[in-house]
């Protein structure tokens, strides 16, 4: 029974980690290298993340500088950024690529907040799905006489407590990201 609950907590932690990665990739107006995490460049026939082909750094507050380790990768990196959905046009000066992040409009901020809330809700749905699966496992254990009915009730309470805690953590992460988006 304890293993089942520990396994559930591991899965819920993975949901939170995934949410953190998703939220880090949301462009909040200032330069953030995480927005490039999903951009893949064709490197000798293999889709490769930009951070494995180049050094990515923030210069000033709103400019990302991408310095490829191989100069012949400038064009493929530039094309991959243009083909991505980050919505920023790269400028290539022959040695580095610069991404200038424009100020966000009020409408764009509200749109980003809506997307952040949806991502948070998706995470909470995943967490509740993990709760449901765990409770089903526990009921099966009780049915097979591996645990008593009292153990089942105690375990269900623990599962619900952990679910509530993780959902609250999701809400905190979403609120922090919304605040960041609205105050940039």
- Check for a shared fold between 2-24+105-183 and 33-100: no
Q: Which residue, among 134, 131, 130, has the nearest Cα to 3 in the 3D structure?
A: 134
pLDDT of residue 81: 86
Q: Which residue, among 29, 28, 52, has the nearest Cα to 39 in the 3D structure?
A: 52
* CATH number for the domain running over 33-100: 3.30.1360.40
- CA 148 to chain centroid, in Å, comes to 39
pLDDT of residue 29: 64
CB 34 within 8 A of CB 20: no
CATH number of this structure's domain 2-24+105-183, picked from the four choices 1.20.1050.10, 1.10.132.20, 3.40.50.1100, 1.10.10.10: 1.10.132.20
Sheet holding 97-100, edge to edge: 54-59, 63-68, 97-100, 90-92
Q: What is the mean pLDDT of each run of 10 residues along the chain (184 residues)?
A: 88 93 76 79 86 85 86 88 81 88 82 92 95 93 89 92 95 92 77
Domain segments of the chain as ranges: 2-24+105-183, 33-100
User: CA-based Rg of the chain, rounded to a whole angstrom?
Assistant: 22
pLDDT of residue 126: 95
Is this prediction's pTM over 0.75? no
87 phi, psi to nearest 5 deg: 75, 25
């Amino acid at each position: 029974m304890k293993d089942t609950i520990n396994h559930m907590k591991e899965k819920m932690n993975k949901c939170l980690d995934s949410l953190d990665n998703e939220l880090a990739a949301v462009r909040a107006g200032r330069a953030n290298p995480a927005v490039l995490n999903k951009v893949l460049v064709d490197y000798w026939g293999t889709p490769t993340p930009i951070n494995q082909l180049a050094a990515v750094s923030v210069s000033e507050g709103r400019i990302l500088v991408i310095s490829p380790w191989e100069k012949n990768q400038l064009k493929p990196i530039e094309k991959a950024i243009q083909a991505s959905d980050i919505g920023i046009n790269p400028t290539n000066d022959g040695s580095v690529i610069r991404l200038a992040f424009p100020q966000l409009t009020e409408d764009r901020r509200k749109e980003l907040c809506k997307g952040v809330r949806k991502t948070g809700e998706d995470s909470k749905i995943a967490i509740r799905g993990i709760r449901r699966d765990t409770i089903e496992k526990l009921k099966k254990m009780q049915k097979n006489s591996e645990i008593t009915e009292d153990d089942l009730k105690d375990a269900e309470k623990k599962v619900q407590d952990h679910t509530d805690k993780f959902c609250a953590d999701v809400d905190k992460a979403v609120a922090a990201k919304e605040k960041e988006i609205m105050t940039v």
